[in-house]
Structure 1
Amino acid sequence: MPAGGRPTVRSRRLGAALKRYRHAAKLDQPQAAEVISASQTRVSRIESGHVTARPLEIREMLKAYGVHDPAIRKKLEDLAKNANRRGWWLEHAAHLRADYLDHICLEDDATFIREWQPALIPGLLQIPAYAEAVIRSAPAFIDPDRVPKLVKVREDRQTKIQEREGAAEYTAIIWEPVIIHPVVEIGIFQEQLAHILEVSKRQNVTLQVLPISAGVKATMPSAFSCFSFDSEPVVEAVTLDNLRGSSILEATEDLTAYSLAFDQLRSAALAPEASRRLIRGILRSSKEDAK
């Protein structure tokens, strides 16, 4: 059972996958319960992530749902096995919201991360000084003693997109005003632009700028991130930013909608090299204006 009775991100992902396969097989929960000789309540709790399915239950369910791919079975069994595995971020759990912990868990498991950010430099690309400035300016009061801890967590998250084994393929689309109008002190802003130019050279990182001229595309909803967990970039979870934190979407129709939204943004954005040229020009102009 997930620790404390609260569904973990991995137990929810497992339950959501089993639910999708059950729906595809056109079976209801009572029929699924018969397959594993359990109650409908257990199936419901497995699908909601409140209970982690046992390997035998997973095998029997997939068999009944007509899913015979051994790779899928292994993936779901691994999710079950690791449902309660501790991650590095839990060392900071006392200082982080539960929804932020869930976001970090998704990020840490992901093979592909795609992010749209219309207001700030994405957290995975922020330098410590920029991160500290935006954390301190958050609408909700943050105890000053927590700020260095939150900055450290943001730095630790960035190892996920470093060029190493287990790194994610990362694509970030940033709206042009984010790199034109500094929201931090000018020296920090210049250092931040130089940093994202450097990070964008990595083989696993793609950075694109959505120009103001894209018009209505730039009215896309608030920041969101799409996560994939296999060798193909099929969106399996989405997190949305909001004033109180973030929320996770896992329903098929939501995943399809945000996958399409990201593809539309990417098509309207400048190509990676054109994006870098734009950022270099803005950085150069900023330095000239500061003389």
Structure 2
Amino acid sequence: MPAGGRPTVRSRRLGAALKRYRQAAKLDQLEAAEVLGVDPARVSRIESGLVTARILEIRVLLTAYGVDDPEVRDKLEDLAKRSKHRGWWLEHAAHLRPDYLDHISLEDDATYIRVWAQALVPGLLQTPAYAEAVITASPSYVAPERVGQMVKVRAARQAKIEEGGAAYTAIIWEPVVIHPLVRAEIHREQLEQILEVGQRKNVTVQVLPLSAGTLAGEISAFASFSFDEAAMVEAVTLENLRGTSILEAPEDLAAYTLAFDQLRSVALTPDASAQLIRRALQRSKDDAS
């Protein structure tokens, strides 16, 4: 079984990949089961992510599917190994929604993370005070004793970009920068944090200006993830009142890849974005003096 006794993002990604290669080879699940010498139900459970394929099963299936590329084979074997790995976030499983744990798993695996932030500063850039203010104000009630735990988890997620484990690009709508939704001192600290993190080599922060028109209102906030050296989007997450939705269908990934490219094409350059953030920070300081 995948770690935690439920389908995980990793086991689902592995199963979906094996399904794609099986279909490309024009084999059905019964034929794949015959190759393995197992009941067809096992192939179904592997492809749905309910169980993780053994390394030997992966090798046999990929050979039957005509997949000889060593990089592909190594990638899927590694995914199988990691699907059973107990990530640090599972220590907090009792306090977090399963869909949020899936989002963290995607972050942990990603080599490229791209975020469009329409209303709030992205989680990987949030200060503890900003995170606490946002969590406390959430329309979904969070018990006071859980707030601190969730702030710690959000801070732990930031290690991914702090350690250079992924290339991170955030596009933030201008109102998020110039109109504080939290106390002014928390907002100023948050702007300083964005400027500091934005100087890292693996981090790019851009501001989408109000002059971009209706585009910001047409594209809701999302995050996209890539898992290889190539920057091809392989998963997208959307936040809503009921939790986090994960999109993995090719047509969805293509749509959000195009959307991010559209946002980036009209966003300010990183340098111009930093200048805008500095001006907003200075105005806030001036107002406080």
Do both proteins adopt the same fold according to a TM-score greater than 0.5, normalized to the shorter chain? yes
Are positions 1:70 and 2:70 aligned together?
yes
Cα distance per residue 1:180-229 (max 9 Å; x no partner):
11000001101100110010000000001111111232124322111111
Give the alignment partner of residue 248 of structure 1, picking from 246, 250, 256: 246
Cα distance per residue 1:222-280 (max 9 Å; x no partner):
22111111111111111111111101111222222211211111112111111111111
Amino acid at match of 1:17: A
Aligned to 1:93: 93
Give the alignment partner of residue 189 of structure 2, picking from 188, 191, 194: 191
Does the CA-based 8 Å contact 2:3-2:85 persist in structure 1? no
Secondary structure at the aligned position of 2:17 is classed as: helix
- Residue 94 of structure 1 and its aligned partner are, at CA, apart by 1.1
Structure 2 segments unaligned to the other structure (5+ residues)? none
Are positions 1:178 and 2:162 aligned together?
no
Structure 1 segments unaligned to the other structure (5+ residues)? none
Aligned to 1:289: 287
Cα distance per residue 1:120-155 (max 9 Å; x no partner):
000000001100000000001111111111111111
Output the CA distance in 2 between the equivalents of 1:23 and 1:220.
35
- Residue 4 of structure 1 and its aligned partner are, at CA, apart by 5.7
Amino acid at match of 1:65: Y
- Residue 5 of structure 1 and its aligned partner are, at CA, apart by 4.3
Are positions 1:53 and 2:53 aligned together?
yes
Amino acid at match of 1:162: E
Amino acid at match of 1:172: A
Output the CA distance in 2 between the equivalents of 1:274 and 1:23.
47
Aligned to 1:275: 273
Amino acid at match of 1:217: L
Q: Residues 253 and 86 (structure 1 numbering): CA distance in 2 closer, same or farther, change over 3 Å?
A: same
Aligned to 1:211: 209
Aligned to 2:230: 232
Secondary structure at the aligned position of 1:82 is classed as: helix
TM-score (norm 2): 0.96
Does the CA-based 8 Å contact 1:115-1:173 persist in structure 2? yes
Aligned to 1:103: 103
Secondary structure at the aligned position of 2:232 is classed as: coil
Are positions 1:133 and 2:133 aligned together?
yes
Amino acid at match of 1:66: G
Aligned to 2:152: 152
Identity over aligned pairs, percent: 69
| Structure 1 runs, 4 residues or longer, greater than 4 Å off | none
Cα distance per residue 1:66-116 (max 9 Å; x no partner):
221111111111111121211111111111111111111111111111111
Are positions 1:20 and 2:20 aligned together?
yes
Amino acid at match of 1:18: L
Does the CA-based 8 Å contact 1:225-1:240 persist in structure 2? yes
Are positions 1:114 and 2:119 aligned together?
no
